[in-house]
Amino acid sequence: MLYLTHHGATVNSCPLHGLLYLPNSLADMKKMDKSELLRASGERAWAAACDGRAIKDPSLLNRFVALIYVDLKKYTFCYWFGFPVVRLPEECEPWPLFLVRLASLNTAYTTLDTPEKRAAFLVVPTGEEVQIRPLEELPTLVADSRPFYLAFSDPSTSPTHPGWPLRNLLALVIHRWGDSLSRCNVLCYRREARHGHVDSSHSLVLDVQLCTSVTAKDNSTPMYVGWERNAAGQLGPRTVDLSASLDPARLMENALELNLQLMRWRLAPTLDLETVASTKCLLLGAGTLGCSVARCLISWGVRNITFVDNGVVSYSNPARQSLYTARDCRDGGRPKCDAAAEALHAVSPAVHARGENLRVPMAGHSHVRADVRRLEALIAEHDAIFLLLDTREARWLPTVVAAAQRKIVINAALGFDTFLARPGDNGEKLGCYFCNDVVGPADSTRDRTLDQQCTVTRPGVGAIAGALAAELLVGLLQSPLKGRCPASDDSEASSENPLGPVPHQIRGFLARHVYMTPTCAAFPMCTACSQPVLDEYARRGWEFVLQVLNDAAYLERLTGLSRLHEETDLDQVWALSDSEESTS
């Protein structure tokens, strides 16, 4: 609890005495006895009126109570102000008489030597001029039958009603001199500077009938009112949310949003930033590609990103993978998914990033059922799926599940100086990542030597491919068809998309600095997106997945690739036979 007083005020201000309560919690604020707080503050004003201190220092009648709860984590302020004033009977209520303009009053007002005396005073007309007298001279003026105005500094701006400080002033006058004074004129002095000049033309003069029910001499405290009403017009506190101005996370979020808004205002008026921000992205793989894609996504304003990886940060990672530092490599290395999510949140606190330590089930590898179920649930929870994994077979199950759930799939893969970025969706009969394969996915890591187990690429390839993958997603989201929009490399089609046409795939060759955007049709015998695979997955679910994980050749038999291989081998035999006969 703080006692607030202010001295040395300017000529245009008056001191206000009050109590500030700062409860520890919002619940404590609600539990506080508001009536008792107002009554206790009113008692202080009434005590000053009874012992005569308020006659010499009228500012003691003007009091306030402030309840303020501050949530320093959310930067919200809940406050409630109370200004205790005596509850007067209706016959004592002042009524406006007329507006006045006392030119000499402004000059006389500045002669008051202390701010406390400006709270309330007497104005005595002397011909065309006025004089200001202290309150203690009121009995003398009444005895001499001299005209005077009971004046106070009025904070109200109402053209017809005075401010609440008048109530306590009238209570003082009635209590001290009510026996000899039944009626008086009250000057509600309002002073403000306008265009370099002091103006008091909006002051009010009131003819007040003084009641006798407040003239008790036993000094008992009268009833007090004065709690402010909130924006809804009810007795209750107000709340101010300053997080947009004070919270560093919100300031950063607003700065990023402003950058994106400028892009829309200046260059792309039809850019749909809201859809991009609300898209939930699942990144399968938190390595070189995962870090690059994530950084580009948050630059576009994406707010929900989930990393899936079961690896740990090694000492070779931080140089190429932008979300990790050397500290993440200590003690055996932190899980990549957790370190990436934490780093992404540190870069942009507004991002909801989380990590899932999960090994993606791969064709030809044995796995438990829980991994498959968890992967299916994660894909169902997100809108866009990025396949950024090291091996081809690791991309098979996510491709099948995403195709069955009609999700947007973006693939990115790296070579030494080559890369591929492509959206995978079969809605327009476009091929997925596996549509160019004529063999089923198998364990490609078996019998690899140590040097073959490491991904070897030029350092810039990962950043380029990751950025293009993120840009492909944003481009897809600008189309009304989203992930099912047709592939296009026609410059005329760019007018329909503020970011230009979206190709089916982008193949880059850094050795020659060449980019290609081919379009590939869906392969009816594809091991991932063909109808036989999707139908079998929908019918058998886990049993189908388990069979594929344990027997990669099953996919070739299911899709007809095995028969295609046999026919191809037979054709080669006949071709060889014809050649031999012709040379014999």
**For the segment 329-338, what is each residue's pLDDT rounded down to a tens digit?**
999 999 999 9
Q: Is the separation of the CB atoms in 427 and 522 below 8 Å?
A: no
Per-residue pLDDT tens for 154-177?
888 888 888 888 888 888 888 888
Question: pTM for the complete prediction?
Answer: 0.62
Write out the catalytic residue numbers: 454
Q: Is the separation of the CB atoms in 323 and 340 below 8 Å?
A: yes
DSSP three-state, residue 108: helix
User: What's 523's DSSP letter?
Assistant: P
Rounded CA gap, 121 and 578, in Å? 125
Rounded CA gap, 563 and 246, in Å? 67
Is pLDDT of 97 > 60? no
Q: Is the separation of the CB atoms in 391 and 413 below 8 Å?
A: no
Rounded CA gap, 189 and 271, in Å? 57
Give the distance between the most distant pair of CA atoms in the chain.
150
Place of tokens 């799926």: 385
Sign of the Cα torsion 306, 478, 400, 536 reads positive
Per-residue pLDDT tens for 198-242?
777 778 888 888 876 554 555 677 788 888 888 888 888 888 887
User: What's the pLDDT score for residue 100?
Assistant: 47
What DSSP assignment string belongs to 459-502?
HHHHHHHHHHHHHHHHHHHTSTTGGGPPP---GGGGGGSTT---
Rounded CA gap, 98 and 201, in Å? 11
Rounded CA gap, 271 and 269, in Å? 6
Rounded CA gap, 7 and 3, in Å? 13
Is pLDDT of 400 > 90? yes
DSSP three-state, residue 517: coil
Q: 412: pLDDT confidence band, cut at 50, 70 and 90?
A: very high
Q: Who's near 2: CB < 8 A, 6+ residues apart? A: 19, 20, 22
DSSP three-state, residue 151: strand
User: What's the pLDDT score for residue 548?
Assistant: 87
Phi then psi for 517, rounded to 5 degrees?
-125, 70
Of 323 and 101, more confident: 323
Mean per-residue pLDDT over the chain, rounded:
82
Among the listed residues 365, 362, 318, 368, the one whose alpha carbon sits nearest the alpha carbon of residue 343:
318
Q: 9: pLDDT confidence band, cut at 50, 70 and 90?
A: low
User: What's the pLDDT score for residue 363?
Assistant: 62
Rounded CA gap, 367 and 359, in Å? 9
Is pLDDT of 398 > 60? yes
Angle between helices 288-299 and 459-477 (to 10 degrees): 40
